[in-house]
Structures are given as C-alpha cells and as structure tokens.
C-alpha cells in the first residue's frame, strides 16, 4: 500500500504516554497504514526491543524518563545505521530538532498531526526521502532566516554537478528522480550523494537540507513550495 512492493511497514512506537500510543496505534492499524509490532515507554525499553524486533520504521518521542529520544536514537543507529526513525514532536521540542537531525533521524511529525500527515511521512521515509510536517519545516526555516550569516565557516569545494544534486536532494527528490532529471544513472547519483555526505559532514538527507539552507544553496520559497506540494 505504501511502498513499491505493497508491503505495509512494521513500526515500533516509543512514547511515555500510553494514551497517545494507543491512539496512534489505532490510526495506523485501522487505516491500514502500518503494523505496530511493539511499543516502548522509554529509550531503554526500546533498545531492549531491538534485540529481537527489526521494524521498518520507528516513531520516537523526545522527552521520556530513564532515557530520552536523542540518546536512544543515537545508540540505536550505532547498532543499526539504516534504521528509519521519525521523531514525534511538539513545538516545545524545537531545541532538539537539530540534535535529532545530527544523530540521524529521517523525519519529524507533529503530535497534533492528522492521519494524512502521518501516512505521507511514512511513505516518504520508506521511499528513502526525509519528511517534515509543514509547521516544523516553517519553524526551522524561520530560525535559519533570522541568521544573517552562514553557520558554516567554509564551504567545501563542491562541483557544479554536486551542487545540482544537493539542490535536488534538499527539495525531496529521490535517487531515481534525480537521475531522470539530470540524465545520469542512479549509481552515479548515489556516488555523488556519498561524496556530498562526506564533504558537508552531514549524516543524512535532513542534515544536507539544513546545510543547503544555512549556506543559501537552495531557495527557501522553492523548498516550502516543493514540500507543500508533496504533503498535500
């Protein structure tokens, strides 16, 4: 339903509020969006689950007792670097946005989001994209817009092709879409992507998007327009 193979993704829910988990589980299962295979109320429980459960996706809360989302995410990705983690967040968590991106999450969804936003986020991440709820993306853009200088002191020496691909990645294009747009092979795009990750010192696609925003490589209006067209 949500992937090319019609495979319904398996998910672990990590949140310390039982009522919230039950509500989200109902949305996911009754809507045929995903199968919830396990739940945890904190990061320690989640890491224990990973010893026996290998989900397609993880929905991760930030503020939890015993071990919060940032530390749990970091430890989980050290063990399973390809694990897809989407952050469940509130606006009050904005100080953690960059920390979670730095450790390697694939997306952010507001806890107040509806089922369509949740479904789109899962779909995009399963396709290898990143996903931000529109409200979170706008807040990040506003924060960056308040800065008058770049956050990176020295830009790496990016080729014209690398800049083209960085722009495409930043607006949410997949590897195959970039290959078609630029008339090159998917393998070549993957090679350029690996080089970009190394040159920009980013860990993932959200990191590269923020890098491109900070250094004015992509236009804010283009980014918000592209994201809105995907989310709606």
53-88: burial string, b at 16+ Cβ within 10 Å, e else: eebbbbbbbbebeebbbbbbbebbbeeeeebbbbbb
| C-alpha distance across the termini of the chain, in Å | 18
205-215 residue pLDDT tens: 778 887 887 78
What are the residue ranges in the chain where pLDDT is below 50? 1-4, 148-151, 153, 228-232
Contact 208, 202 (CB under 8 A): yes
Nearest to 56 by CA among 30, 33, 24: 33
The residue whose two tokens read 């989980």 is: 76
Q: Which two tokens stand for residue 195?
A: 């080089």
**Can you give the pLDDT at residue 144?**
58
Domains of the chain: residue spans and CATH: 10-133 (3.40.50.2300), 147-231 (1.10.10.10)
> How many other CB atoms are found less than 10 A from the CB of residue 145?
10
127-183 residue pLDDT tens: 888 888 777 766 666 665 555 444 454 567 888 899 999 988 887 788 888 999 999
């Amino acid at each position: 339903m949500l992937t090319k193979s019609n495979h319904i993704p398996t998910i672990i829910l990590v949140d310390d509020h039982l009522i919230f988990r039950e509500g989200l589980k109902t949305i996911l299962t009754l809507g045929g969006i995903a199968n919830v295979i396990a739940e945890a109320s904190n990061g320690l429980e989640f890491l224990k689950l990973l010893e026996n459960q290998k989900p397609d996706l993880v929905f991760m809360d930030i503020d939890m007792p015993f071990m919060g989302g940032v530390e749990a995410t970091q430890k989980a990705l050290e063990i399973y670097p390809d694990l897809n983690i989407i952050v469940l967040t509130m606006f009050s968590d904005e100080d953690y946005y960059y920390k979670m991106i730095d450790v390697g999450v694939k997306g952010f969804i507001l806890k107040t989001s509806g089922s369509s936003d949740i479904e789109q986020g899962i779909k995009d991440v399963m396709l290898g994209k990143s996903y931000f709820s529109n409200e979170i993306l706008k807040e990040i853009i506003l924060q960056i817009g308040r800065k008058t200088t770049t956050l990176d002191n020295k830009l790496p020496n990016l080729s014209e092709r690398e800049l083209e691909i960085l722009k495409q990645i930043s607006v949410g294009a997949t590897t195959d879409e970039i290959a078609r747009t630029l008339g090159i092979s998917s393998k070549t795009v993957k090679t350029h992507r690996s080089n970009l990750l190394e040159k920009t010192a980013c860990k993932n696609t959200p990191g590269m998007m923020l890098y491109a925003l900070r250094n004015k490589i992509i236009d804010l209006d283009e980014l918000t327009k592209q994201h809105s067209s995907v989310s709606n």
